[in-house]
Amino acid sequence: MEFEGRDITALGPAHRAHEGIVRTFQNSPLFPTLTVVECIATAFERAEPTRVRSAMLGWSRPERRRTERAIALAERFGLGAYLDHQLKELSTGTRRICELACITALAPKVVLLDEPAAGLAQREVEALVPVLRSLRRELDCTMIVIEHDLPMLSRLADRMVAMVAGQVVTVGTPTEVAHHPVVVAAYLGDRDIAIERSGPAT
C-alpha cells in the first residue's frame, strides 16, 4: 500500500496516523467516561502534546488552550448542549458526530470511514451526510467510505466502487453504480422486485 509515493504497508496504526491517515470504527469506540469536551481535547494532543515538565509542574495554560479549542469545535459540530455529557450517555448518532469532531482535531489527509450509518436512525443518517460533506470540504481531505446504505453514499460520494463476494463488479458515479444490473441483483434482488420496492416506475 502506497501513500504519497511511499510504501506504508509495514507501518503500524500509530505511524499511519502520524502520516495523516485516520479512521473511524463502526461502533465508535470512544472513551465512554470522558465528556465530549474531554474527548475532543484528547484528540488535540496530537498537535499540542502535553509536556512532561508542564504536567509535573501543574502548568495549566496548554490544557486550558486545548479545552477552549475543544469547546469551539464541539459547538461547530452542534454539540454545544452535550459539552459536559459523558460519551456513554449519548445516542449512537451523537457519538458519531463527536467522533467526527475528534477527527477534525487530528487534521488528517485521508479519512477512512467504516459504515458510518451503522446503528443510526434515518433522521440521524440524514443529518450525518452534511456533516461529512462539511468535514471533507473543511479539511480538504480524501474520504473513503465503506457503507451499505446506497442512498446515503449517493448523496456523499463522487465515485463509487461496488463489490460482490469480495470482487469489484463496477466503478463509476453513484448513478452509474446504483443502476448496474449486478449491483441491483446483489443488493436489491430481482429487478422487478427492486422496482416494486421502490414504487411504480414513472
Q: Which has more confidence, 196 or 12?
A: 12
**Residue 161 pLDDT exceeds 70:** yes
CA-based nearest residue to 26, from 187, 147, 122: 147
Measured CA to CA, the distance from residue 74 to residue 104 in angstroms comes to 10
pLDDT of 51 reads 63
Name the strand (E) or helix (H) holding 170.
strand 167-172
Cell numbers for 76, please give them. 461547530
Task: Return the domain boundaries, the chain.
Answer: 159-202
17 DSSP 8-state letter:
H
Digit-coded pLDDT (tens) for 137-157: 888 899 999 998 888 888 899
**Would you place residue 60 in the very low, low, confident or very high pLDDT band (cuts 50, 70, 90)?**
low
Measured CA to CA, the distance from residue 185 to residue 163 in angstroms comes to 12
Digit-coded pLDDT (tens) for 79-124: 999 999 999 999 888 998 999 999 999 889 999 999 888 888 888 8
**Residue 170 pLDDT exceeds 70:** yes
pLDDT of 185 reads 84
**Residue 136 pLDDT exceeds 60:** yes
Measured CA to CA, the distance from residue 130 to residue 167 in angstroms comes to 30
